[in-house]
Structure 1
Amino acid sequence: MPHEIEATATTYAAPEVIFKHLFVADSWDEWAAFWARARHEVVAYDPPRHCGYVALSGLPRGYRADITLEPHGVNTLIRWRASFDGRIPGTAPLKGAMLRRRFGSFARRVAWHAERCEPGCPARLPVEF
C-alpha cells in the first residue's frame, strides 16, 4: 500500500514565478539548500498550476510527486504531495517523515526565494512553458 505525504507553503509570488523556479533546473541552486540530483520523468505538466513527476531510479520505490500551485486569496498555496512504497517493510513511515520535512523545506524556500529573487537568478531568464 502506498505511503502518502504532503507539505505546503504560502507565498505572495505569482504561480508563474513559482513554476519557473521549479522547472528551471539551474534555479534550484539558488533556493534549495540541499537536493540530490536524481533521475525523474515528468508525467504531468500544466503550467503554471500543476506538475507531476516519478522517480526513475533509487529510493523510495514507486515514488510519484505532484506539485500544485493554487490561488489562496491574493497569495499562492504551494502543495507538494508524494506517494511511494517502502523498499524495506516497515520503513515507509520513517522515509515519509524525512520526505515531508524535505518537501516542507523546499516549499518554504522556493516561496521565500521567489519573493526576493535577484536579477541573476536563472528563473528570471525568458523561458517558455
Structure 2
Amino acid sequence: MGVQHIDVSATTTAPAAAVYALLRDGASWPGWSPLGSFELESPGEDGGESVGAVRVFRTGRTTSRERIVELVPDRRLSYVLLSGLAIKDYRADIDLTERPDGTTIRWHSSFRAKVPGMGGLYRRTLTKFIQQCADGLAQHAAARLTP
C-alpha cells in the first residue's frame, strides 16, 4: 500500500498570527470548516491545545481523534490522526507563509489506506474536505479583520 499525499493551499489578507490563532483554537474549527463539533479530550504538555493535546472533531457519524505534534508560533501546526478514518500513518502539516498582502496557507498531509486499493478514493475525498477547510480558514481569518 503506497503513501498518499494531499497538498492544498489558500490565501488570505489576514496576517499569519490571526490565522495561527484560529488553528490553535479547536473550538473555532466548526465555524470555518465542514467539521460539526470540537472537544478537547486531553490537554497537551503545556496545558490546553499545546503539543500532545488530543482534539476530537465530529462530523455526522464520523468522529476523528487527532494529536497535536508540532507547533511553531504563527508558522505551523501539525497533527496526526489517532482514530476515526480507515487510514493509518496520517500526518498533516499546516504551514503559514506571511506575505506583504496577507498569508498563504499550505495544508499538506500523507497517509496510507488501511484497505488495499482504497488510497486513491480516500485521497480524493480528503483533498476536497481539506481544501474546504483551508478556504474556510482563509475567509474566516480575513472576515475577522473587517470591522
Taking structure 1 as the reference length, what is the TM-score of the superposition? 0.84
Gaps (5+ residues) in structure 2?
A: 37-56, 59-63
1:46 corresponds in structure 2 to 72
CA–CA distance in structure 2, aligned partners of residues 56 and 93 of structure 1: 20
Alignment-mate amino acid for residue 44 of structure 1:
E
1:17 corresponds in structure 2 to 18
Alignment-mate amino acid for residue 42 of structure 1:
I
CA–CA distance in structure 1, aligned partners of residues 134 and 125 of structure 2: 14
Shift of 1:73: 4.3
* Pairing 1:63–2:98 present: no
- RMSD, matched Cα: 1.8
Q: Aligned to 2:113, which of 66, 86, 93?
A: 86
CA–CA distance in structure 1, aligned partners of residues 142 and 102 of structure 2: 11
Deviations 1:71-95 (A, max 9, x none): 2442211000010001111111110
Identical-residue share of aligned pairs (%): 34
CA–CA distance in structure 1, aligned partners of residues 123 and 98 of structure 2: 27
Q: Which has the higher helix share?
A: 1
Residues 104-123 of structure 1 aligned to structure 2 (within 5 Å): 104-117=131-144
Taking structure 2 as the reference length, what is the TM-score of the superposition? 0.75
Gaps (5+ residues) in structure 1?
A: 119-129
Q: Which has the higher strand share?
A: 2
Higher relative contact order (CA 8 A, sep 6+): 1
CA–CA distance in structure 1, aligned partners of residues 108 and 131 of structure 2: 10
User: Contact conserved, 2:112 with 2:119, CA < 8 A, in 1?
Assistant: yes
Indicate the larger mover: 28-37 or 17-26: 28-37
CA–CA distance in structure 2, aligned partners of residues 14 and 47 of structure 1: 12
